[in-house]
Structure 1
């Protein structure tokens, strides 16, 4: 499927049609195959992209930088200390300055209003690398990963998101599945569900796409039949420890354990996480939470994270391929070939071989031992969104 979005912004999933979103996934799969075959054509030579990071990141920054370099574009990284948006210079003025120097701007920070204002005044494509409300580049990566790990078309894929669904990941999972006609389950305490306005928008999309939308507090209701189980961190850097205490207590029963995966009834179920994850004591933050709460794991157990069910590193790699698709679709001249070899690729939702896309691997059967689906995780922490 050819996809041309020249000059378009990428601010949130709701700005795109299902056809456009699927087109970006198809393009990402082609670009991934071309890179692995050593046949990638640089379509963005001479392009310059500004990367504004009010929130630091490993995956998002590296994905943008490598994707741009692969395509012949240059990037300028503006770190949290170098971004003066809202303090010494308004978003409006920043946009009008950078729009004169760069061909595109990426923004990663707190406020969706900031990235929207940059887009309003920049005069060049603006990309949302993450805000508190939406994480659209992550959704492209997650959907591509799903297509690589199931033979089902998108409309038949079911996924369950467990944990804190009030912010970017919960919002994005809900509306993306609704847009694409998928079976979406949000499994969390009611106080941690997406805002009513987001739920209403998702239900309206589902009426058109045929998506199935479920919001439930019960793991036993939300996960049976799921092809994918996803979660995100429970604690964010900079929050008061008292906020962490309450959230950890509330979300403990929603940790993704092997018993949760068994409850799907699907031996091939896969686990997704946008990372970083607090699945062990390998970070200072996790050790601090262990000292305070006695936990060694939080939103996912180490057993699940390190199991064959986990595809989190395929998912992380796909950040780069899908971000590259966004860059090519919005910056490359119309008519540019995304895959110079023009090798045939499966349609979205069909299996892709390892050489073409990802590392398909069978999941080991869920072991019979471990905590029950409704019991708290062992003990551990959550990272920054």
Structure 2
């Protein structure tokens, strides 16, 4: 007797969406996610989060190390009444003994969401092509959308009196990282102005600027790519990230020489920013490299609020992308199955 799949493989495909980059969403959709974050954060404050993911599972593929992304997704699933399974590259056969496509198909039959932190965007894309549950990009070499949602929410929480998100100008101090690239596109999509401030050698590539140009035509935002640190005076948000990442350790000395000391976020640099400017940092922070401890601990720093909001974002993401098919069965259906199983067990 073949029993129909009890997993999300039978989803109506028109309702299935993935999250590869924030650039694929409209401003209205981003606003919906932000409002959902507000509701869930308030519920958490009162220890009253609804079990909107009860008896459901997040499968988390992590090819690279993580603190915030891993912990926030695991905690989010638990708080929503579900469960998360961590799968490092040592635990599964992703792309080795088993194809990426088959991994996606198998996890889709056992899990309700797949989170993937991969070493290249192609792997994440392949997962979406075969998965029948939502695939969430937890960071690849191109984009970091879950970070962006937390960032925009944090900016919204700490807006100056009488200001809107679209009144902000974000200064990213440093290299064209996945975070920088994602910020450029997310900000210009939403209508927030953006500046990348750093050495010319590490400026944004043209292909990303073309996408930003299209966003600006629709949103009215503008961006600037510059070496001039004086431009920070026009910015209400100053954003820091590492000047090198794990795949760039061999370039560390060259990169530090290029960025330091001019592009390091210091107390003095923050004093040159627009009045009331806030400081964000995606963390981990490298003290005395891209940022000083004094700046990170300043009254204007909201970096640890930003970090906490990774949890807020992940709760919203899980709910937003599963809202069409995570439904509680009726009391009658539960009792029906319980009675059948109990009757069988009594005969054993």
Bin of the TM-score, shorter chain as denominator length = 0.7 to 0.9
Distance across 1 between alignment mates of 2:238 and 2:103:
40
The alignment partner of 1:255 has SS state of coil
Task: Tell me how far 1:21 sits from its aligned partner.
Answer: 1.2
- 1:145-203 CA deviation, whole Å, 9 max, x = no partner? 001111421111111001112x3111101001100001111111122122211111011
Task: Tell me how far 1:6 sits from its aligned partner.
Answer: 5.2
Distance across 1 between alignment mates of 2:199 and 2:110:
47
Structure of higher RCO (CA pairs closer than 8 Å, 6+ residues apart): 1
Partner of 1:164: 175
Partner of 2:222: 212
Partner of 1:318: 309
Q: Does 1:277 find its partner at 2:285?
A: yes
Distance across 2 between alignment mates of 1:125 and 1:176:
20
Q: Which runs of 4+ in 1 moved over 6 A?
A: none
Q: Check whether the contact 2:118–2:139 (CA below 8 A) recurs between aligned residues.
A: yes
Q: Which moved more, 1:173-182 or 1:304-313?
A: 304-313
Task: Tell me how far 1:86 sits from its aligned partner.
Answer: 2.3
Task: Tell me how far 1:238 sits from its aligned partner.
Answer: 4.7
The alignment partner of 2:40 has SS state of helix
Task: Tell me how far 1:25 sits from its aligned partner.
Answer: 1.1
Partner of 1:183: 193
Q: Which has the higher helix share?
A: 2
Task: Tell me how far 1:89 sits from its aligned partner.
Answer: 2.0
The RMSD of aligned alpha carbons is 1.6
The alignment partner of 1:95 has SS state of helix
Partner of 1:192: 202
Correspondences of 1:227-246 after superposition (within 5 Å): 227-241=236-250, 243-246=251-254
Distance across 2 between alignment mates of 1:108 and 1:304:
29
Distance across 1 between alignment mates of 2:326 and 2:97:
41
Partner of 1:14: 23
Of the three residues 295, 311, 336, the one matched with 1:304 is 295
Task: Tell me how far 1:313 sits from its aligned partner.
Answer: 0.7
> For this pair of structures, how many residues does the alignment match?
311
Q: Which runs of 5+ in 2 are unaligned?
A: 1-13, 328-348
For normalisation by structure 2, the TM-score amounts to: 0.86
Distance across 2 between alignment mates of 1:51 and 1:117:
15
Q: Which runs of 5+ in 1 are unaligned?
A: 280-296, 337-385
Partner of 1:136: 145
